Amino acid sequence: MALSKLDNLYRQVILDHSSHPHHHGSLENSSQRIELNNPTCGDVIHLELDTEKGVIKDIAFSGHGCSISTASASMMTDAVLGKTLEEAIALSEDFSQLVQGKDISELEKLGDAAMLGGVAKFPARIKCATLAWKALEKALEDPETGIGESGLLKHEED
């Protein structure tokens, strides 16, 4: 397949996710929720997770952002739903490597998110692509995002 056609395919998948994002909205029951923004572009994501026994049972996001950040959030929710927290963190680390232009061993595990690898060529957009994944990592790694403890935390990326 010619590279330009491949690029078109990727662009179409990214546009599909940004115009019809998966798992968009909010959860009735969430165990973690977090809001994170990317001031460089103005993207804001509000992410909610329902985790039980170390597994992501449900996930939803809302907020507003550019098509890359929205598509990436949609792809992220597809990739991590049903995964263990460790698997989700590992996927997030893989994604971070991918958008920095590094080779990763199990690209297919990222699902459609693998298509955002081209962002590596556009350094200004990398933070758009990683916003949802950073929100996921912070929600899973930072015990303070548990709603029972301190409610909704706001973080700002610098």
By the criterion CB under 5 A, which residues form the site for Zn ion? 41, 43, 66, 69, 128
Instruction: Judge contact between 113 and 80, C-beta under 8 A.
Output: no
Q: Can you tell me which residue has the tokens 């899973």? A: 140
Q: How far is the CB of 147 from Zn ion (least distance, A)?
A: 27
Report the residue number, 40 or 97, with the smaller CB distance to Zn ion: 40
Shortest separation between residue 114's beta carbon and Zn ion, angstroms: 19
Nearest distance, CB of residue 1 and Zn ion, angstroms: 28
Q: 49 - beta bridge partners? A: 32, 59
Nearest residue (CB) to Zn ion, 69 versus 92: 69
Shortest reach from residue 152's CB to Zn ion, in Å: 22
What is the rounded distance in angstroms from the CA atom of residue 5 to the CA atom of residue 126?
Answer: 23
Residue 52 exposed, middle or buried by CB count within 10 Å (0-12, 13-18, 19+): exposed
CA–CA gap between residue 129 and residue 67 (Å, rounded): 9
> Closer CB to Zn ion, residue 51 or residue 74?
74
Of 85 and 99, CB closest to Zn ion: 99
